Amino acid sequence: MKKTLLVIIAMLTISAISATAQNRNGRRNIIRKNVPVDSIRLSDPFVLADEKTKTYYMTGTGGMMWDSKDLKHWNGPYKVTETDPNSWMGPNPMIWAAELHQYKGKYYYFATFTNRAVKIDTVFNNVIERRASHVLVSDKPNGPYRPMQDETYLPDSIPTLDGTFWVDTDGKPYMIFCYEWLQNNDGTMEMIQLKDDLSGSLPYPNSTEKSGGKLMFRASDSPWSKEKNDKGEIVPNKVTDGPFLFRTGTGRLGMIWTSWIYKDYTQGVAYSESGTLEGPWVQEKEPITPRNYGHGMLFRTFDGKLLMSVHSHKDVRGAYLRRPCFFEVDLSGDKLKIVKEYKP
């Protein structure tokens, strides 16, 4: 009897260990429940309001998922990606600025993946790792999200990040992304056309850009972002970060994007004079959000309220402390306007 009992205990122990491993590797490993939104630490928060499930799904840097029914209390984080360890991403890619987009009956996960084991360049003593915007797909908003046909969307010789999604007036899908300042010393915002099913990218006709896409604008085009160079001179900041496209009530095409004003993370707006991605893009003179709020996106709540999701940014003894925040916004006129901070 004692021997039988020991066998049973051993089997239960093995099962428990196995279940724990499955939970750790599974895509629905909910760590916490009913977490207040102001207790979540997350950079680049992106919210998908899924009408089918009447659930808000939030992801961002780190690539994990949170879900909520009311924007106030959240469940998570849990893993939703299943990347290929034999691809350029490697077995454990770092994930930044993940986004969720619903398109033609499927859900797409746009994110920046970094393989830290691969170095592609060294510029001004900065070692640049293999980093690129890429797209995964799923039949469900909570995944699993897996790679599609094309192994790469953008060249492996340049660092790209923060890819977002837009269907332009020509009905074609595009990825808008940043070519990182670490290599070109003046970050750019660029666009590239995607295949109809978003499974890969298409070269831009007669492109002269290293990305194979089209230049939209440079970081130095902004009148509000600033930094000091080695001589102490005030110059335009080099960073382009976090693009997101929208249309105003009058049909004007705009883009929120983020850079820095010295040490303050700050978000501005650019508008297309043509009303299409082709531009030209003209920068607003002043930022759209208060300083130390940035990397935003827009979504509607299930009761129709238009919100901007951003993260607050605070430097605590050299470490960045970031949490999701919401603002009510107005798009009824010719420009995007911040109304007030929204507390669920």
pLDDT at residue 8 greater than cutoff 90? no
pLDDT level of residue 96 (50, 70, 90 thresholds) = very high
Task: Please give the pLDDT value at position 30.
Answer: 55
pLDDT of residue 315: 82
Confidence (pLDDT) at 131:
98
Q: Report the C-alpha gap between 148 and 160 in whole angstroms.
A: 19
pLDDT the model gives residue 272: 98
pLDDT at 7 over 50: no
Mean pLDDT of 97-125: 97
Q: For residues 174 and 277, is the Cβ–Cβ distance under 8 A?
A: yes
Ranges 16-25, 91-100, 235-244, 304-313: which has the least confidence: 16-25
Q: For residue 81, list its beta bridge partners.
A: 145
Backbone dihedral angles phi then psi of residue 24, each to the nearest 5 degrees: -65, -35
**What's the mean per-residue pLDDT of the chain?**
91
**What is the amino acid identity at position 294?**
G
* Angstrom distance (rounded) from CA 263 to CA 76: 31
| pLDDT value of position 247 | 98
The per-residue pLDDT for range 226-252, each reduced to its tens digit, is 999 999 999 999 999 999 999 999 999
At 25-77, the pLDDT tens digits run 444 465 899 999 999 999 999 999 999 999 999 999 999 999 999 999 999 99
Lowest mean pLDDT among 7-16, 138-147, 172-181, 335-344: 7-16
Q: Give the distance between the most distant pair of CA atoms in the chain.
A: 83
Q: pLDDT per residue over 322-340, tens digit each?
A: 999 999 999 999 999 999 9
Segment 9-13 mean pLDDT:
35
Interval 288-307 mean pLDDT: 97
What is the average per-residue pLDDT within 197-204? 95
Residue range 101-111: average pLDDT? 98
Residue 18: pLDDT above 50?
A: no
Q: How far, in Å, CA of 71 to CA of 111, rounded?
A: 22
Q: DSSP H helical segments within the chain, as ranges?
A: 2-25, 181-184
What does the pLDDT average to over 108-133?
Answer: 97
Nearest of 243, 170, 187, 177 to residue 213 by alpha carbon: 177
pLDDT at 317: 82
What pLDDT does residue 203 have?
86
Confidence of residue 16 (pLDDT cuts 50, 70, 90): very low
Residue at token pair 């799904």:
57
User: What is the percentage of the chain residues whose pLDDT exceeds 90?
Assistant: 87
